[in-house]
């Protein structure tokens, strides 16, 4: 099963993935962007906010996604794959940029993924108040520096993206305690 943990920065994706790693010990744990050697370099470029063009940023994410699919996802489709972000994020971020048509975003992402999408996507959702608090507790990267309103738009766009991609989205309140969130994810994955 190929699943993705989605959410805006500080929602707790990394924490949940580490917890799932201990439960699904044979799982392939990966991330987008940065799940491959080439992807690590692409991730650095994107997070450094060096690109001025939103189209260039979008194309970098697509390049990472295509490489990730070829190197990590496709060879392991017979195993449990747990990804920190996925095509859902790629579509969501592109949608709010407003520089590329929805049709082009969907077609280019289908091209990059070969039409392989996560079977389940877990969205860790934050309230505005909790997001502001969590951002105040850390050094911000290039994406986080765009502010909480931008990140909340991304959160809404993640829901829209999952619908457009026809991917099963399970929304989880990220303000709940860590154990409860982990158990909700595990229960949903293991239910028959």
Task: Work out the pLDDT band at 48, boundaries 50, 70, 90.
Answer: confident
Q: 105-135 burial, b for 16+ CB within 10 Å, e for fewer?
A: bbebbeebbeeebbebbbbbbbeeeebeebb
- Into how many domains does the chain fold? 1
Instruction: Return the CATH number at 19.
Output: 3.40.50.300
Kind and range of the H or E element at 83? strand 81-84
Per residue in 56-75, pLDDT (tens digit) is: 889 999 999 999 999 999 99
> What is the average pLDDT across 110-115?
97
Residue 65 near residue 87, CB atoms below 8 Å: yes
Residue 86 CA to residue 140 CA, distance in Å, equals: 22
- State the first-to-last Cα distance of the chain, in angstroms, to the nearest integer: 13
pLDDT for the residue numbered 136 = 82
pLDDT for the residue numbered 14 = 93
Residue 145 predicted with pLDDT over 80? no
Helix axes 87-97, 54-68, angle to 10 degrees: 170
pLDDT for the residue numbered 191 = 84
Global pTM reads 0.90
Mean pLDDT for the chain? 92
Residue 14 near residue 31, CB atoms below 8 Å: no
Residue 186 CA to residue 20 CA, distance in Å, equals: 8
pLDDT for the residue numbered 156 = 97
Task: Work out the pLDDT band at 141, boundaries 50, 70, 90.
Answer: low
pLDDT for the residue numbered 144 = 67
Q: What does the angle CA 16 – CA 29 – CA 135 come to, to the nearest 5 degrees?
A: 40
Task: Work out the pLDDT band at 11, boundaries 50, 70, 90.
Answer: very high
Residue 79 CA to residue 104 CA, distance in Å, equals: 31
User: Any idea which of 39-43, 119-123, 165-169 has the lowest mean pLDDT?
Assistant: 39-43
* Residue 133 lies in domain: 2-190
Residue 124 CA to residue 172 CA, distance in Å, equals: 5
């Amino acid at each position: 099963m190929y699943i993705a943990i989605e959410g805006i920065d500080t929602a707790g994706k990394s924490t949940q993935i580490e917890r799932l790693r201990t439960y699904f010990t044979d799982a392939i744990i990966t991330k987008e962007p940065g799940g491959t050697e080439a992807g690590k370099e692409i991730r650095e470029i994107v997070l450094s906010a060096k690109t001025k063009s939103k189209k260039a940023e979008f194309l970098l994410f697509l390049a990472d996604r295509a490489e990730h699919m070829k190197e990590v996802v496709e060879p392991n489709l017979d195993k449990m794959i747990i990804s920190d972000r996925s095509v859902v994020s790629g579509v969501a971020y592109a949608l709010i940029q407003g520089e590329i048509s929805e049709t082009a975003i969907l077609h280019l992402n289908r091209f990059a993924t070969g039409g392989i999408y996560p079977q389940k996507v877990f969205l860790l959702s934050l309230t505005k108040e909790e997001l502001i608090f969590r951002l105040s507790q850390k050094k911000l990267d290039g994406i986080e520096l765009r502010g909480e309103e931008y990140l909340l738009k991304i959160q809404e766009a993640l829901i829209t993206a999952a619908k457009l991609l026809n991917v099963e989205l399970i929304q989880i309140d990220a303000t709940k305690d860590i154990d409860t969130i982990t158990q909700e994810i595990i229960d949903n994955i293991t239910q028959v």
